[in-house]
Structure 1
Amino acid sequence: MEKQRQYELVFNRFDENGDGKISASELRKCVASIGAEMSEEDAKAAVALMDSDGDGLLCLDDFIRLVEGAEEEEKAKDLLDAFKMYEMDGSGYIHPKSLKRMLSRLGESKSLNECKKMIARFDLNDDGVLSFDEFKNMMTCST
């Protein structure tokens, strides 16, 4: 099933009064249905932020932008968590030694020279380390 249709099904399920709009309270129920919590204030703020026509409600397109934004936020958080695993020393960069150490923990043995070459492929400013943006670029290219 295409993603647009999935969004429509979810939207329609939580549009309790069938008006083609989702209110802040309907949004809270939607979030609760997936086991998360959203305060009344956060729901109102999310609706206000995404409401494209200023009526205080989310139409389908607003709802889709909200959900896709949340998905992108989750991906970014996961990517940052992965980056932190590889950088290890809190420097904000992945060094060849930290890459070697992490790969070793994952059961993949690489020499320091091989790690330098791996980093060099995505090291945009040639400083010998990977910043978070370079790491993000690397992960985007490899998926």
Structure 2
Amino acid sequence: MEAHHRYESVFNHFDLDKDGNISPSELQEFVRAMGGEMSLAEAVGVVETSDEDGDGLLGLEEFARLVEGGEEKEKMEGLTEAFRMYQMEDTGCITPKSLKRMLSRLGDKRRIDECKAMISAFDLNGDGVLDFHEFKHMMS
């Protein structure tokens, strides 16, 4: 396995006892430093589910996968929230009208035909609206 050098300095910083692993209490400290709260019991649970070699600790690779998974989850939550803002009255899709309305709120005045053109560029199934999958593709 290739080390995730991007997380190595963070890992080393929170490996308080310098044993090359992150324990549940060290993970708890990491979450606290990131502005979150996690009980020791929750930290034990997270370590158990992320611990691939069964030693009860997180090595660098396990820690990196845990952090990357959290970043991916945050990104997906942000996309979901943005999609909700742009969709039309809980229809589950973004219509030219709902896109025009949201862009207008953001100070970007567009004609309805411009909104239709914007949607058609990412409308994979040709139904004239964007579902979440198409919106995610547009935002990537």
- Return the offset for 1:8: 1.3
- Across the aligned residues of Structure 1 and Structure 2, the Cα RMSD in angstroms comes to 1.2
* Secondary structure of the corresponding residue to residue 67 of structure 1: helix
Q: Which amino acid aligns with 1:42?
A: E
1:35, 1:100 → 2: CA distance?
36
2:41, 2:86 → 1: CA distance?
37
Greater shift after overlay, 35-44 or 87-96? 35-44
> 1:120 corresponds to which residue?
120
1:66, 1:50 → 2: CA distance?
7
Over residues 96-120 of structure 1, what are the superposed CA-to-partner deviations in whole Å (9 max), with x where a residue is unaligned?
Answer: 1000001111111111111111111
> 1:110 corresponds to which residue?
110
Unaligned runs of 5+ in 2: none
1:104, 1:18 → 2: CA distance?
54
> 1:28 corresponds to which residue?
28
- Return the offset for 1:37: 0.6
Larger relative CO (CA 8 A, sep 6+): 1 or 2? 2
> 2:62 corresponds to which residue?
62
Q: Percent identity?
A: 57
- Return the offset for 1:26: 0.9
1:12, 1:116 → 2: CA distance?
50
Unaligned runs of 5+ in 1: none
> 1:132 corresponds to which residue?
132
1:59, 1:42 → 2: CA distance?
18
State the TM-score, normalizing by the size of structure 1.
0.90
Q: Which amino acid aligns with 1:14?
A: F
1:102, 1:94 → 2: CA distance?
10
> 2:42 corresponds to which residue?
42
Stretches (4+) displaced over 2 A: 39-42
2:48, 2:123 → 1: CA distance?
40
